[in-house]
């Protein structure tokens, strides 16, 4: 009788824990998405029922919806890895995958990984967009174009978390949509269940990019193939007969590159979206969860090596005497093989694409500098600097042998770089008369140690394709004859 009782108890405990750790979409057999309310309930259940899982609210939006940060840990503090999903509210696969991942961790998977690292997960950065099944957030803004200007509360909250937990590795999770008219017209659509993209900005150390391409991508490819999923390196551009195909973009306004600027081993993951929000949802969730698992396992197994790599990259960044402010993907002459679905035969096909621009060529470099000077009265720019955790200090702290340069804003129409209009200015930096600079009006802006020194140069140089001047909120900086931002260089440079 006693034995029977124990067996019954154990059985009911198993049933209980299984109920807790079934995701809302799973419980609906993937016929419907996890709603915001269900996501909140699921996370709180995981927090209550698993010792390894800790859930924290990092932001409450005006709508009353919250953004949650999940910490998975085996106890003592270890190097952190962060995964954040659903910046785009209509890309549900990443969110569902993140919940599956939390379930797996709570069910005892990833024990080996948790011996090496702490795993942080934000399953849903854009709850307002999620509820309306739209790409943008409640303010109508694209969060994944906001990481340089940091005007949206969701993005500010994410970067606060990043600055607090200082992860060595990051994965930004999305979905790509292959069902557009232009792809249909082409006759083939992209067919990767999951694509992963490395850092590509030209100011990221080659050692980091090489290691990512030669070690991480093949590791994930093998992991996914073993589990029956189609995988490819993240590739953007329209159909090959229309626009250039390339592995990625180089801009620093997204989750991946902005983390890379903080010297984090950073990647983007793109799952294949459905024809509508629930189409193929089970496969979308499971394939993306496996992509996350591959990334976690790689980073856990290679944690020390990656941290060493980043440390050496940081030293190299500090030694660089220039930063690239314009770059373009150029035609490499080598075709790329892409996994496609033929719309006429319905078969999986590998297509060799000739119009492939895989090489990133720097187009314009400027010398790096001690920092910049901005007006104390420009609160918009000052607030931007503090949102980016930049060093803001009095000009009394300047080195004794500094020179100040100023820039005359002679606009020379715009120039097109990789199909995007970029400001073009004919001006150049020239020495400013020190007597014109009233000390009291200016403060000095510099990067903290952990930030790539190319960051400020890319953000402030008027000719930079990555510049703040390309954003509406900073357009006012282009209207004065003399650029209101001054550059500080060491004498003799």
| Contact residues: Zn ion, CB under 5 A | 88, 91, 174
Tell me how far, at minimum, the Cβ of 138 lies from Zn ion, in Å. 17
Tell me how far, at minimum, the Cβ of 389 lies from Zn ion, in Å. 25
10 Å Cβ neighbour count for 355?
Answer: 16
The span from the CA of 134 to the CA of 89, in Å, is 5
Decide whether 83 or 385 has the Cβ nearer to Zn ion: 83
Tell me how far, at minimum, the Cβ of 195 lies from Zn ion, in Å. 12
Q: Which residue has its beta carbon closest to Zn ion? A: 174
Tell me how far, at minimum, the Cβ of 88 lies from Zn ion, in Å. 4
Decide whether 270 or 447 has the Cβ nearer to Zn ion: 270
CA R_g for the chain: 24
Nearby residues of 128 by Cβ (< 8 Å), 6 or more positions away: 61, 63, 65, 89, 137, 138
Tell me how far, at minimum, the Cβ of 23 lies from Zn ion, in Å. 21
Tell me how far, at minimum, the Cβ of 399 lies from Zn ion, in Å. 43
Decide whether 73 or 269 has the Cβ nearer to Zn ion: 269
Decide whether 174 or 486 has the Cβ nearer to Zn ion: 174
Structure tokens given for 64: 């009353």
Q: Rounded to the nearest 10 degrees, how much is the dihedral formed by the CA atoms of 70, 76, 79, 85? A: -10
Tell me how far, at minimum, the Cβ of 479 lies from Zn ion, in Å. 33
Decide whether 203 or 269 has the Cβ nearer to Zn ion: 269
Q: Is 344 exposed, middle or buried, given 0-12, 13-18 or 19+ CB atoms closer than 10 A?
A: exposed
- 265 in Cβ contact with 256 (< 8 Å): no
Decide whether 170 or 306 has the Cβ nearer to Zn ion: 170
Residue 279 phi, psi (nearest 5) = -55, 125
Decide whether 292 or 324 has the Cβ nearer to Zn ion: 292
Tell me how far, at minimum, the Cβ of 197 lies from Zn ion, in Å. 12
Helices 281-301, 217-226: inter-axial angle, 10-degree rounding:
130
Strand ranges inside 348-397, DSSP E: 348-353, 359-367, 371-375, 391-394
- 165 in Cβ contact with 259 (< 8 Å): no
Structure tokens given for 161: 């978390």
Decide whether 91 or 447 has the Cβ nearer to Zn ion: 91
Give Dmax over CA atoms of the chain in angstroms: 95
Structure tokens given for 185: 């017209």
Structure tokens given for 51: 């010792």
Helix or strand or coil: residue 411?
strand
Decide whether 134 or 165 has the Cβ nearer to Zn ion: 134
10 Å Cβ neighbour count for 330?
Answer: 14
10 Å Cβ neighbour count for 124?
Answer: 28
Structure tokens given for 137: 């957030």
Tell me how far, at minimum, the Cβ of 93 lies from Zn ion, in Å. 10
């Amino acid at each position: 009788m006693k034995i029977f009782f124990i067996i019954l108890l154990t059985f009911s405990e198993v049933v209980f824990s299984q109920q807790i750790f079934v995701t809302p979409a799973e419980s609906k057999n993937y016929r419907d998405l996890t709603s915001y309310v269900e996501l909140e309930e699921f996370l709180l259940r995981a927090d209550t029922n698993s010792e390894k899982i800790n859930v924290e609210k990092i932001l409450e939006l005006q709508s009353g919806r919250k953004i949650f940060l999940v910490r998975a840990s085996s106890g003592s503090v270890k190097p952190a890895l962060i995964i954040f999903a659903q910046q785009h509210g209509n890309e549900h696969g990443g969110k569902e995958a993140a919940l599956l991942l939390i379930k797996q961790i709570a069910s005892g998977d990833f024990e080996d990984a948790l011996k090496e690292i702490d795993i942080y997960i934000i399953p849903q950065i854009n709850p307002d967009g999620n509820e309306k099944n739209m790409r943008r957030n409640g303010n109508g803004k694209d969060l994944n174009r906001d990481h340089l200007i940091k005007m949206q509360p969701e993005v500010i909250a994410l970067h606060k978390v990043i600055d607090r937990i200082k992860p060595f590795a990051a994965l930004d999770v999305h979905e790509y949509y292959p069902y557009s008219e232009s792809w249909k017209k082409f006759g083939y659509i992209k067919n990767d269940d999951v694509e992963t993209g490395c850092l590509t900005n030209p100011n990221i150390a080659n050692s980091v990019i090489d290691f990512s391409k030669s070690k991480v991508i093949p590791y994930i490819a093998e992991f996914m193939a073993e589990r029956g999923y189609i995988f490819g390196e993240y590739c953007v551009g329209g159909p090959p007969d229309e626009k250039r195909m390339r592995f990625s973009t180089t801009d620093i306004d997204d989750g991946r590159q902005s983390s890379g600027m903080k010297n984090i081993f950073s990647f983007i993951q793109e799952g294949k979206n459905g024809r509508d929000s629930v189409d193929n949802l089970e496969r979308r969730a499971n394939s993306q969860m496996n992509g996350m698992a591959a990334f976690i396992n790689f980073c856990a197994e290679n944690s020390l090596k990656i941290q060493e790599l980043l440390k050496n990259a940081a030293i190299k960044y500090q030694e660089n005497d220039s930063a690239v402010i314009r770059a373009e993907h150029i035609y490499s002459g080598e075709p790329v093989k892409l996994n496609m679905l033929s719309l006429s035969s319905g078969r999986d096909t590998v297509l060799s694409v000739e119009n492939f621009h895989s090489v990133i060529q720097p187009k314009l470099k400027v010398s790096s500098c001690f920092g910049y000077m901005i007006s104390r009265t420009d609160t918009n720019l000052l607030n931007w600097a503090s949102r980016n955790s930049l060093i803001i200090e009095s000009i009394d702290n300047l080195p004794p042998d500094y020179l100040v340069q100023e820039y005359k804003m002679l606009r020379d129409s715009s120039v097109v770089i990789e199909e995007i209009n970029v400001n073009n200015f004919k001006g150049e930096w020239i020495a400013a008369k020190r007597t014109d600079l009233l000390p009291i009006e200016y403060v000095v802006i510099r990067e903290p140690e952990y930030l790539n020194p190319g960051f400020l140069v890319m953000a402030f140089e008027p000719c930079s394709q990555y510049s703040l001047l390309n954003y509406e909120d900073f357009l006012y900086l282009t209207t004065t004859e003399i650029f209101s931002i001054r550059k500080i260089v060491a004498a003799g440079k």
